[in-house]
Amino acid sequence: MDRYFTEFATAFVRGRLDQPQATIDTGLQAGLRLHKFKLNVELPRVRTVLGMLRSLQPENLLDLGSGRGTFLWPLLAGFPSLPVTTAEIADGRSTDLAAVRKGGVQRLTVVRADVHRLPFAPRTFDVVTILEVLEHLADPPLALREGVRSARRAVVVSVPSTADKNPEHLHLFGMEQLTNMAAEAGAGRTTFEHVLNHRIMLAQVR
């Protein structure tokens, strides 16, 4: 069991099976795919984002496009009292995220939403994260603008820094382009950190 984010994998199993006493083993026996909950905190990009968030100490957080939870599970594990809202449009992924909440992780709120048109009032969240999302989108500047609009203090963005063969990656962003996008979105000062094949931007909200 030490290979998983146990709390979240167990909650997912309980929520999906609607069995309050279910365990990870129960889920594996039922054929649920739990690979998304495997420990990944040693990934350089995950460690770097968590470090940025520790410096910010957010009161609450919005994670846009959480997907399979590559960043979400270590974020929830690293900040055990932090209320987190996830905005995810894909049916299957939002259903899986909702199962985690149903299974007991009440500080996780799941909203099915398009990141280009977020249903939140301005400055609703202390910090907004947009992690390995912009490169997939039809209109990245609009999504970043929505993230900045929703944030009170800061937006953290992670994107690939080198070209790859992923057919779902539609864009490759340089530092200058990201800085300009952030400024046009209404953010203030931006800083960058670089890890293996990724760049991570911290944009302060004015």
pTM for the full predicted model: 0.94
Contact 115, 145 (CB under 8 A): no
User: Tokens 């200058």 label which residue?
Assistant: 176
State the average pLDDT for the chain: 94
State yes or no: pLDDT of 1 exceeds 60. no
Domains of the chain with bracketed CATH: 1-38 (no CATH), 40-205 (3.40.50.150)
> What local confidence, expressed as pLDDT, does residue 2 receive?
65
* 67-126 pLDDT per residue, tens: 989 999 999 999 999 999 999 999 999 999 999 999 999 999 999 999 999 999 999 999
CA distance 88 to 102: 16
Does residue 5 have a pLDDT over 80? yes
**How confident is the model at residue 167, as a pLDDT?**
80
Q: Which pLDDT does position 164 carry in this prediction? A: 83
* Angstrom distance (rounded) from CA 159 to CA 5: 24
pLDDT above 70: percentage of residues in the chain: 99
pLDDT band at 128 (very low <50, low <70, confident <90, very high): very high
What are the pLDDT digits (tens) for 50-65?
A: 999 999 999 999 999 9
- Confidence at residue 169, expressed as pLDDT on a 0 to 100 scale: 82
- Predicted confidence (pLDDT) per residue in 23-32, tens digit: 999 999 999 9
The pLDDT of residue 140 is above 90: yes
Distances (CA, A) of 30 to 14, 17, 34, 100: 11, 9, 11, 16
